[in-house]
Amino acid sequence: MITVTHYLMLSAILFAIGTLGVLTRKNAIVVFMCIEVMLNSVNLTFVALSRHVGNLDGQIFVFFVMTVAAAEAAVGLALIIAFYRNRESIDVDDFNMLKW
């Protein structure tokens, strides 16, 4: 029998994976994908909890998260492209003009 706990565990794991990805991966796109993973793990949590507590607020929240994620994707990719135009690279190691 699969309980809400399992869902939460799964989403927690996903969230952790996403976080670690952000910390470790160098390719901007991949990093962005990791962030998406984090957001989606949150969505999973919401849905699971919504089912658990028995009202729809959580699921409504998920809709908003998805839209926002979409918007962010648009903006983020645009920024990455702009950067690529100037540096011919999307390696996050190259985001290092501004420091100290």
Partner 1 sequence: MENLVQEAIQNVNLHAVMPSLILTVAGMALLMVAVFSPRGKTTHIAWLSIASLVVAGVVTLAGWNDTQTGFAGSVQLDNFAAFFSMICIIAAGLAILMSDDYLKREEFPVGEYYPLILFTTAGAMWMVSGTDLITIFLGLEVLSVSLYILAGFFRDQQRCNEAGLKYFFLGAFSTGFLLYGMALLYGVTGTTKIYDIAAYVQANPDTTTNIMFVAAGLLMLTGFFFKIAAVPFHMWTPDVYQGAPTPITAFMSAGPKAAAIAALLRVTIICLAGIQDQLTTVFWVLAVLTMTVGNLIALCQKDLKRMLAYSAIAHAGYALVGLVAWNEIGLSGILFYMLVYTFMNMGAFAVLVLIGRRGEEQLTLEGFSGLGYKKPVLGVALCIFLFSLMGLPPTAGFTGKFYIFAGAINEGFIWLAVIGVLNSAVSLYYYLRIMVFMYFKEPQEDFSWVTINAATAVSIVISVAGVLYLGIVPAAVMQFAKMAGL
Partner 2 sequence: MYSNLWLIPFFPLLGAIINGLFGKKIKNEAIIGSIGTLAMFLSFLVATQNFFRLIGDSQKVHEIVLASWMSVGNLQVNWELLLDPLSAVMIMVVTGVGTLIHLYSIGYMHGDPGFYRFFSYLNLFAFSMLMLVLGGNALVMFIGWEGVGLCSYLLIGFYIDKKSAGDAAKKAFVVNRVGDFGFLCGLLTLFWALGSHGVWTINFVEIAANAHLLEAGGVLITVVTLAFFLGATGKSAQIPLFTWLPDAMEGPTPVSALIHAATMVTAGVYMIGRMNILFAMAPSTMLTIAIIGAATAFLAASIGFAQNDIKRVLAYSTVSQLGYMFLAMGVGAFSAGIFHLMTHAFFKACLFLGSGSVIHAMHHAYHHAHLHDDPQDMRNMGGLRKKMPITYWTFLLSTIAIAGVPLFSGFFSKDEILWWSFGSTAGHPIFWIIAVAVAGMTAFYMFRLVFMTFFGEQRTDARARDHIPESPWTITVPLIILAFLAVVGGYVGVPKILGGGNHFGEFLNPVFGHAQELYDLHAHGSHAVEYTLIALSVCIALFGIYMAWLMYMKNPKLPAEFTAKFAGVYRFVFNKWYIDELYDFLFVNPCKRIGTFLWRAFDVRIVDGIVNGCAWVLKGCGAGLRYTQTGYMYNYAVAMVVGVVVIVGFYVFG
Closest approach, Cβ 94 to partner 1, in A, equals 8
Tokens at 93, concatenated: 């190691």
Tokens at 3, concatenated: 């309980």
Residue 95 lies near partner 1 (rule: CB under 8 A): yes
Of partner 1, partner 2, none, which one does residue 2 interact with (CB within 5 to 8 Å by kind)? none
Of partner 1, partner 2, none, which one does residue 93 interact with (CB within 5 to 8 Å by kind)? partner 2
Long-range CB contacts for residues 53-58, cutoff 8 Å, separation at least 24:
none
Closest by Cα among 86, 62, 90, 94 to 76: 90
Residue 61 lies near partner 1 (rule: CB under 8 A): yes
d(CA 54, CA 68): 24
Which neighbouring-strand residues pair with 27? 91
- In the complex, which residues of this chain contact partner 1 (CB under 8 A)? 8, 15, 18-19, 22, 28, 31-32, 35, 38-39, 41-42, 45-46, 49-50, 52-55, 57-58, 60-61, 64-65, 68, 71-72, 75-76, 78-80, 82-83, 85-87, 92, 95-99
